[in-house]
A = this chain, B = another copy of it.
Amino acid sequence: MRGTILYGPGDVRVEDRPDPVIKEPTDAVIRTVATCVCGSDLWPYRGIDQLAKPRPYGHEYVGIVEEVGERVTTLTPGQFVVGGFYASDGTCAHCRAGFQFSCVNSSPFDGCQSELIRIPQADGTLFATPTLPDEELIPSLLALSDVMSTGWHAAVSANVQSGATVVVVGDGAVGLCAVLAARELGAERIIAMSRHESRQRIATDFGATDIVETRGDEGVAAVMELTDGVGADAVCEAVGTGESMTQAVRVVRPGGMVGVVGVPHGVELPLRQMFFGNVGVKGGPASVAQYLPTLLDKVLSRQIEPGKVFDLELPLEQVAEAYAAMDERRAIKVLLRP
């Protein structure tokens, strides 16, 4: 099959690779219908995260079940499936508590930017749609594999309640999905911090009621003005830098929560400021399997269309251009078709 290998900073290629096979009786192999590039793929692509050696890349996918191991009970070949960006068994204490990323049988994927993917713990990881979905739903279903589930996780971690005022820091695909999640969870006011017109349009389409273009002291002042000096009930942080985390902590009201889904890179929290404001921080890798039943319903019933975050579609063979377009911010998120 053809599959993506990330060699190092700025060097990503599609190559011939061995077809994946069932290794464990709980595995499935799926034929990729669509995959994509994640903002987090850019950390090693930019050389900020170090790669020990070249490795297969990508962790988002939708596909058709090709083959299942003998202990897989919920899936059959030919079904269309969505799954999270890591494997989880769905039965251990952490899965049952809704934190599947910490599954005791978790295991990483081979690269998903490829024609075929081996999915471990298939029963806990993959969710089949009732029928083969319409072509136009593919981008939104693919978004559930990571970005929409992660945006949802940000809003859940930030304890977004009905009627709440929410700030979203970060206007990448995840930040935009957090706006959509906040709307679906009943937020009354959603302030998106974004400096890019094309992203502002999607944010507004997803439910943002206000846009703040400034950052730092000015950004804080703008949010405070919009909230009568109180601050936001909940803040979704979808970047992961020290700057964005500090921005998030400064715009939340006393006693509020910051939901964090940007992988922290060189972040030091302003801990005393948080303490004296009773500001909480919670988050991490999304509980995809926890949210998939709800989010699948919302996509299949056309209540939400998170696939709008894909503003460029390329053949898998052009993966290098896909990474470059996102790196250079020419695209928000690139969908790849094998």
Q: Which of A113-121, A250-258, A300-308 contacts B (4 or more CB under 8 A)?
A: A250-258
Question: Bound complex: CA of A97 vs CA of B276, how far in Å?
Answer: 15
A102: interface (CB < 8 Å): yes
Nearest CB of B to A271, in Å: 5
Q: Is the interface of A mostly helix, strand, loop or mixed?
A: mixed
Residue of B nearest to A286 (CB): B278
| Cβ-neighbour of A285 out of B228, B253, B278, B285 (below 8 A) | B278
| Cβ-neighbour of A230 out of B93, B157, B257 (below 8 A) | B93
Tally chain A residues at the interface, Cβ within 8 Å.
35
A101: interface (CB < 8 Å): yes
A137: interface (CB < 8 Å): no
Report B-chain residues with C-beta under 8 Å of the C-beta of A257: 280, 282
A14: interface (CB < 8 Å): no
A167: interface (CB < 8 Å): no
A277: interface (CB < 8 Å): yes
Report B-chain residues with C-beta under 8 Å of the C-beta of A255: 94, 97-99, 102, 287
Q: Mark A92-136, 1 if CB is under 8 A from B, else 0.
A: 011001110110000000000000000000000000000000000
| Tally of this chain's copies | 2
Question: Bound complex: CA of A275 vs CA of B94, how far in Å?
Answer: 15
Q: Mark A70-106, 1 if CB is under 8 A from B, else 0.
A: 0000000000000000000000011001110110000
Question: Bound complex: CA of A283 vs CA of B97, how far in Å?
Answer: 23
A219: interface (CB < 8 Å): no
A284: interface (CB < 8 Å): yes
Report B-chain residues with C-beta under 8 Å of the C-beta of A230: 93-94
**A254 touching B157, Cβ below 8 Å:** no
Residue of B nearest to A255 (CB): B99
A223: interface (CB < 8 Å): no
Question: Bound complex: CA of A275 vs CA of B267, how far in Å?
Answer: 11
Report B-chain residues with C-beta under 8 Å of the C-beta of A281: 280-282
Question: Bound complex: CA of A279 vs CA of B285, how far in Å?
Answer: 11
**B157 touching A253, Cβ below 8 Å:** no
Report B-chain residues with C-beta under 8 Å of the C-beta of A264: 271-272, 275
Question: Bound complex: CA of A98 vs CA of B274, how far in Å?
Answer: 16
A166: interface (CB < 8 Å): no
Report B-chain residues with C-beta under 8 Å of the C-beta of A267: 271
Residue of B nearest to A274 (CB): B284
> Besides the contacts A94-B255, A102-B255, what 16 more A-B pairs have beta carbons closer than 8 Å?
A94-B230, A94-B254, A98-B255, A99-B253, A99-B255, A99-B278, A102-B254, A257-B280, A260-B275, A263-B275, A264-B271, A264-B272, A269-B271, A275-B283, A275-B285, A279-B284
**Complex A-B: 9 CB contacts under 8 Å:** A94-B253, A98-B255, A99-B253, A101-B278, A260-B275, A264-B272, A268-B268, A275-B284, A277-B284
